């Protein structure tokens, strides 16, 4: 059985360091990030928004106007992306952006 590791927040900082360590140990990585290159340096404080406890107090009506899909994501949608990466044996070290299309406008 393959050794597989899912690293959340693995595109930078400590998450990236963990991803690099696990890769050196022979793990196939699924690096999950909400954005591309820190959402192009947070491009005006925008990133991918998913309904969680961390986003429950945000002004969703205002923010979703900037998201091409016009809505916040759901945790199940992030989970589907994680499952896709974990079940794809030839994908490793890839960052899959799950952001409702924000990368298209940044």
Q: Tens digits of per-residue pLDDT, 32-60? A: 666 555 433 332 333 468 888 778 888 88
pLDDT at 61: 92
| Mean pLDDT, rounded, for 71-88 | 88
pLDDT at 101: 77
- What angle is formed at CA 37 by the lines to CA 35 and CA 43, rounded to 5 degrees? 75
| Mean pLDDT, rounded, for 63-78 | 87
Going 53 to 56 to 81 to 7, the CA torsion angle's sign is negative
Asked whether the beta carbons of 86 and 30 are under 8 A apart, the reply is yes
Q: What does pLDDT average to over the chain? A: 74
pTM: 0.61
Domains along the chain with CATH numbers: 4-103 (3.40.50.720)
What does the block give as tokens for 17?
Answer: 């360091």
């Amino acid at each position: 059985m393959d050794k597989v590791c899912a690293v959340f927040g693995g595109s930078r900082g400590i998450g990236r360091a963990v991803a690099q360590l696990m890769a050196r140990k022979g793990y196939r990585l699924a690096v999950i990030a909400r954005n591309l290159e820190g959402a192009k340096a947070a491009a005006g404080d925008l990133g991918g928004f998913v309904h969680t406890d961390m986003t429950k107090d945000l002004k969703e009506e205002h923010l979703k106007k900037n998201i091409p899909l016009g809505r916040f994501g759901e945790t199940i949608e992030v989970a589907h992306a994680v499952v896709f990466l974990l079940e794809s044996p030839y994908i490793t070290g890839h960052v899959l952006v799950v952001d409702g299309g924000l990368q298209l406008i940044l």
